[in-house]
Amino acid sequence: MELLHPLVFFVAAAFGLIATMVMDFVMDRLPEGRTPPAVAAAAVRGERPEDAGRGAVALSHYGSGTVAGVVYLGIFILLSMIVPDSTTMSLLALAGAGTIMFGLMIGVFFLGPLSHVGGLTAQRVGDIKRSWMISAGVYVITVGICMLLFVQA
């Protein structure tokens, strides 16, 4: 299937949702693993992370994870246009997309929601950052594997 076919974007959104669910498994095992989605929801609503409602946290987490799958696909498509068409170059484009996506996920979260939520100690912010970096890494690896299997099919 052609990468610019409209259905591919729905597939990418599904991959983003799948990667978010895999990320949940890891988040549950990290000290501040469930805090980043609460921080994102709280930043939007001007609340403390502890006060963010479960619905807002779930919408923030799964919504952004689903959209991130489409963003990953977009980055991959752009990189695929730059590199010659071959299996090796497709793998390089996927790896490049994953690297860029990881940087975006970290940068957007650190400079956006995390910097706008008050009431967190410096120690807790450091713990949240570490948990988010691990979670984002799991997300990027998972969505990358899904994309790889899809592109190679």
Q: For residue 101, what pLDDT is reported?
A: 97
* Cα separation, 4 vs 44, whole angstroms: 32
pTM: 0.92
Question: Which amino acid, 76?
Answer: F
Residue 153 has pLDDT above 90, yes or no: no
Q: Residue 17: name the closest of 145, 147, 153, 139 by CA.
A: 139
Give 117's DSSP letter. Answer: -
pLDDT digits (tens, 9 = 90+) for 118-144: 888 999 999 999 999 999 999 999 999
